Amino acid sequence: MNIREIAKAAGVSVATVSRVLNHPETVAENTKKKVQRIMEEEEYTPNWFARGLNFANTNTIGLVIPQLVDPVYSEIVKGVEDVATRKGYIIFLCDFANDQTLEKMYFEQLARRRIDGLIAVSTRAESKIFDTVTENNIPIVLVGGSSHDLGFSMVKVNYREAAADATRHLINIGYRKIAMICSDHTDPNSEEKLQGYRLALHEAGILFREEYLKIAEDKMETAYLAAKKLLEIEEPPEAMFVATDNMAIGVMDAVKDKDLKIPEDVAIVGFDNIQISKMVEPRLTTVDIPLHKLGVYGARLLFDLIESDVSEKQQIVLQTKMKIRKSCGHKERIGELF
Amino acid sequence: MKKTNYMGLQLDNPIIVAAGPWSRDGSSILRCFESGAGAVVTESIVSDAILDVRPRIAYNGSGAENIRLYSDVQIEGWEREMEIAKSGGGKVIASVSAHTPSEMAYLTAKLQKFGADAIEISISNPYMESLEVMASDAERVYRVTREVVSNVDIPVAVKLSQNTTNIMEVAKAAKDAGASAVSAINTVRAILGVDLEDRKPVLGTYGGYSGAPIRPLGLASVASIAQSVDIPISGIGGVTNYREALEYIMLGATTVQVGTTMMIEGPQAVRKIVEGVEAWCSHRGIESIDEIRGSALNNLRSFEEMKIEPAISTVGSTRCTDDCSKCMQVCLYDAISKQEGKITVDQKLCTGCGLCTFICPSRKLKLNW
């Protein structure tokens, strides 16, 4: 039965059935019960919800992420789940802990468990690692970019441009001695972020200085150490662009431990806009990456493939945005105020 | 009824219900159609529904400020809502909002699949975004419109903002990118007022201003686009009655959208506008809106083309005995005086500014030479 037939059977308008589904509190109790009874009898579920309940499928999807404890990935997972549960699917969540052998093992295991689709988040895997998945005709979607051009549907942001924006923000305030604390291979987008930093310096005619670049594992502790080193060099930087908020929090600690003030002595810009960045003191200026939305679109692109809505590869690039807070440039947030 | 072809859609009349909370889902759109509107634009549909803040709409007796944001039905839910919205056979235009070309293209393609008759891309909300809304930048408007147009087969309109230096340039970019129409204007960034005791701005953040006070802005925008870019225009902003709808049409609009008036006065306000347009035209033997569309543009000149006539203010033959001295109060040149109940204009002092002719409650003063 479709919505019109339900309405007819209940002797109400289509609009009333819709209200029962969307805003049941606005419908008279008797009418609501009547409509709900008919929907139950007819096992009616709105068709966009029911679409996935195909009995040939297992109604499961695989979601493989690099690091469960990193809040960046938990927000993406939440986005995927918000769409998947509404579609009647559940998720196999696998944390490969930045270990490619483990990642490959998860892909094989998931394929064996006959998942209906796979979402690989921030993968550095090469095409052949996906072979067991593709051989089983399981659709694949990449979220947050990939190190190799794999030819799958993908949702991502322009990490290079976003990192350039963060650096430009510091340049526009008037800083010239700008260091970058870049993540290592544990962050699959580190290379693009470094390119963005160098691009912004180049545009402004600022020479790239090797001693102003520190590469560290994507962790608070390692970033803390990297920042300390930077502050001990002969001509220390006045501003730092840090590749992830996670690392930036460690950097803030290092600056404070040196008895320096943020932003008066050292300005700091992070990246990602994880929840905690608006709670640390001072509030962290950062680049907002739409993490939840990356997950939401990842799931949408996957269901498009599972439901054979589209067969061709789709690519969505989402917007990033500076979030200017007290750790630098707050008084001059001309472009950001809304 | 005055049938109208808008972007290839055959509408029963040129009055359209604008995007807003009154068109937030299928059943509310069906209610909008009961007003007799030629088409209804959905509330702006976005990727993820955002929780509504409370309160989110303020009104000061003439204008409204809102921070309503977007539809709270997720894109997936619009498959069902669109089916309901279209069950009465009316034309539904899906308003879609997103921040990048690929995201906009994805959402609009979905809405086409769900049955939307056309798309209105909304890239000019003056709240929650920074001041640099997409519609303030012709280049970005081109890119997003291009991407959408190449992904859907239904007509695409672009909703423009007053919040740009040159709205004509943006309209041209939309046309060049393949848009079938532009809508002008979106709400205007505003703060409705400040509570003096609490020291709090109304609604506590910047909002979008709509209603009668923004009509002159909308009229100027529509006229400017009509004079410079060959593209159908949907006029929006502060229409409260049929005469104001006709003003938009005479300045070049193909259709006219009504939002705030419907929110304040209900769907019957839209019906009155639809019927008023019909009656006004019939009374003058006008069979098609096309006969009057843009007819006021010929009388809209650039400043350089304005002719300077030696006109001065004169008083009509009737003596003014009203207990009123408004004309004397406003005269910037001390040219008006009142003797024994009779208004006189000193012809040497009057410079013909014209203000008194608008101020006089009974319109007794005229500019003549």
User: Is A337 a member of any domain?
Assistant: no
Question: Which residue in B6, B3, B4, B1 sits closest to B233, CA to CA?
Answer: B6
Alpha helices in A59-125 (DSSP H): 71-84, 100-112
B63-66/B200-201 β-pairing: unpaired
**Contact B84/A at CB under 8 A:** yes
A24 Cα distance to chain centroid: 33
| Residues B219, B338 share a domain | no
Cross-chain residue pair B80–A3, CB shorter than 8 Å: yes
pLDDT of res. A285: 95
Facing A293 at nearest CB: one of B47, B79, B206: B47
| φ and ψ at residue B94, rounded to 5 degrees | -90, 120
Q: Considering B299, B332, B349, which residue would you say is the last residue of a domain?
A: B299
Alpha carbon of A296 to those of A67, A70, A81, A319: distances in Å?
19, 18, 8, 14
Within this chain, do residues B295 and B340 fall inside the same structural domain, yes or no?
no
| Cα–Cα distance, A104 to A154 (Å, whole number) | 19
3-class secondary-structure state, position A123? strand
Inter-chain CB proximity B31 and A15 less than 8 Å: yes
SS3 category, A326: coil
User: Using a CB-CB distance cutoff of 8 angstroms, which residues of chain A are in contact with residue B25?
Assistant: 18, 22
Contact A296, A129 (CB under 8 A): no
Q: Which pLDDT score is estimated for B297?
A: 97
ipTM tops the 0.85 cut: no
Whether residues A128 and A74 fall in one domain: yes
What does the alpha-carbon distance between residue B33 and residue B31 come to, in Å, rounded to a whole number? 5
Give the position of tokens 């990642």. A103
Q: First vs last Cα of chain B: how many Å apart?
A: 43
Shared domain for A26 and A68, answered yes or no, is no
- Would you say residue A338 lies in a domain? no
CA B201/CA B208 separation, integer angstroms: 14
CA atoms within 13 A on the CB side of B20: 26
What pLDDT score does A48 carry? 46
Question: Does residue B86 sit in the same domain as residue B211?
Answer: yes
Q: What's the pLDDT at A51?
A: 44
How does strand B156-159 pair with strand B181-184?
parallel
Domains held by chain B: number: 2
Amino acid at position B215, single letter: R
| Parent domain of A12 | 3-44
Tell me, yes or no, whether B186 and B145 share the same domain. yes
Asked whether residue B286 falls in the same domain as residue B341, the answer is: no
> Which CATH number do you get for residue B348?
3.30.70.20
Give whole-number Cα distances, B38 to B11, B21, B117, B294, in Å: 5, 18, 13, 20
Reduced to 3 states, what is the DSSP secondary structure of residue A273? coil
Q: Calculate how close chain B gets to A227, using CA atoms only, in Å.
A: 32
Do B179 and B123 share a structural domain? Answer: yes
CB-CB under 8 Å, B73 with A18: no
Contact assignment for A316 to B206 by CB distance below 8 Å: no
Residue among A228, A246, A102, A141 at smallest CA distance from A187: A246
Choose the mutation target among A22, A288, A292, A319 for the interface with B, i.e. most B CBs under 10 Å.
A22
As beta bridge partners, residue B258 has B17
**Binary contact (B73, A22; C-beta < 8 A):** yes
C-alpha distances in Å from residue A9, one per residue of A21, A42, A47, B82, B220: 16, 10, 18, 21, 52
| Positive/negative CA dihedral, A211, A213, A218, A223 | positive
Contact B146, B103 (CB under 8 A): no
Q: Which residue is listed with tokens 């019939």?
A: B282
Q: Is B102 touching A (CB cutoff 8 A)?
A: yes
What residues of B are in contact with residue A18 (Cβ under 8 Å)? Answer: 25-27, 80-81, 84
In this structure, is residue A55 part of a structural domain? no
What is the C-alpha to C-alpha distance for residues B214 and B66, in angstroms, rounded to an integer?
14
- How many other C-beta atoms are found inside a 10 Å radius of the C-beta of residue A69? 10
Task: Find out whether B181 and B233 touch, Cβ atoms under 8 Å.
Answer: yes
Tell which of B22, B25, B27 to mutate to test the A interface (max A CBs under 10 Å).
B27
Is A178 a domain residue?
A: yes
What is the residue whose two structure tokens read 């690392």?
A247
Residues B191 and B316 grouped into a single domain? no
Residue B19 and residue B109 share a domain: yes
CB contacts, 8 Å: B74 with chain A: 86
3-state secondary structure A11-26: CCCHHHHHHHHHCHHH
d(CA A180, CA B250): 59
pLDDT at A239 (0 to 100): 97
Each residue's pLDDT expressed in tens, for chain A with a length of 338 residues: 778 888 888 888 888 887 787 777 778 888 888 888 888 887 776 654 444 445 568 999 999 999 898 899 999 999 999 999 989 999 999 999 989 999 999 999 999 999 999 999 999 889 999 999 999 999 999 999 777 788 999 999 999 999 999 999 999 999 999 999 999 877 778 999 999 999 999 999 999 999 999 999 989 999 999 999 999 999 999 999 999 999 999 999 999 999 999 999 999 999 999 999 999 999 999 999 999 999 999 999 999 999 886 778 899 999 999 999 988 877 766 655 54
The nearest CA of chain A is from the CA of B21 a distance in Å of: 14
CATH of the domain at A131: 3.40.50.2300
**Three-class DSSP category at B321:** coil
The answer to whether residues A167 and A152 belong to one domain is no
Task: Tell me the two tokens of residue B170.
Answer: 């943006």
A161 CB neighbour count, 10 Å cutoff: 18
The kind and range of the H/E element at A216 are strand A213-216
Q: What is the DSSP string of B130-193?
A: -SS-GGG-HHHHHHHHHHHHTT-SS-EEEE--S-SS-HHHHHHHHHHTT-SEEEE---EEE---
Task: Please name the member of A22, A83, A318 whose beta carbon is closest to the beta carbon of B25.
Answer: A22
**Domain stop point among B299, B323, B346:** B299
Statement to judge: residues B323 and B188 lie in one domain: no
> Does the beta carbon of A73 lie under 8 angstroms from any beta carbon of chain B?
no
Number of structural domains (chain A) is 3
**Is there a single domain that holds both residue A314 and residue A326?**
no
CA distance A298 to chain B (A): 12
- What stretches of A113-209 show up as alpha helix (H) in DSSP? 131-135, 159-173, 190-203
User: What residues of A are in contact with residue B31 (Cβ under 8 Å)?
Assistant: 15
Determine, for residues B26 and A14 on separate chains, whether the beta-carbon distance falls below 8 Å. yes
A78 and A139: one domain? yes
Chain A positions touching B75 (Cβ under 8 A) are: 300
Cα A9 → chain centroid: 45
What are the φ and ψ backbone dihedral angles of A6, each rounded to 5 degrees?
Answer: -60, -45
Q: Quick one: DSSP state of residue B114?
A: H
* A45 interface with B at CB cutoff 8 Å: no
Q: Is A13 contained in some domain?
A: yes
pLDDT means over runs of 10, chain B (369 residues): 91 97 95 95 89 89 88 91 96 95 96 97 75 83 97 97 91 98 95 96 92 98 97 98 98 98 94 97 95 96 85 77 86 90 88 93 87
Contact yes or no for A297 and B106 at CB 8 A: yes
Cα A123 from Cα A121, distance rounded (Å) = 6
Among B81, B83, B129, beta carbon nearest to A338: B129
Give the pTM.
Answer: 0.86
Among A3, A23, A169, A316, most B C-beta atoms within 10 A, so best to mutate, is A316
Contact A76, A69 (CB under 8 A): no
Residue at A54 is within a domain? no
Contact of B136 with B163, CB cutoff 8 Å: yes
Contact state of B100 with A293 under an 8 Å Cβ cutoff: no
At A50 the pLDDT is 46
pLDDT of residue A49: 47
- Does A293 touch chain B if contact means CB atoms closer than 8 Å? yes
State whether A181 and A303 are in the same domain.
Answer: no
Same domain (yes/no): B178, B250? yes
Structure tokens at A332: 């001059």
B245, B249, B261, B353: which is closest to B308 by C-alpha? B353
Are A18 and B25 an interchain contact pair (Cβ–Cβ within 8 Å)?
yes
Question: Which structural domain range is residue B324 located in?
Answer: 308-368
For B23-77, the DSSP string reads GSSHHHHHHHHTTT-SEEEPPPB-SS--PPPSS-EEE-SSEEEE---S-SS-GGG
Name the helix (H) or strand (E) containing A322: strand A321-323
Q: Are residues A326 and A194 in the same domain?
A: yes
Q: Give CA–CA dist A206/B281, Å, rounded.
A: 67
Q: What are the percentages of helix, strand and coil residues in chain B, rounded to 5?
A: 35, 20, 45
Q: In this structure, are residues A14 and B87 in contact, taking their beta carbons and an 8 Å threshold?
A: yes
Residues B195, B318 within the same domain: no
Instruction: Check B103 against A318: CB less than 8 A apart.
Output: yes
A121 has which bridge partners? A143
Q: Are residues B50 and B95 in the same domain?
A: yes
CA distance A311 to B27: 33
**Are A3 and B102 within 8 A, CB to CB?**
no
Q: Look up the CATH number of the domain holding residue B280.
A: 3.20.20.70
Both A108 and A184 in one domain: the answer is no
> In terms of domains, do A212 and A266 share one?
yes
Contact A316 B103 (CB under 8 A): yes
Cross-chain Cβ contact A318/B80 below 8 Å: no
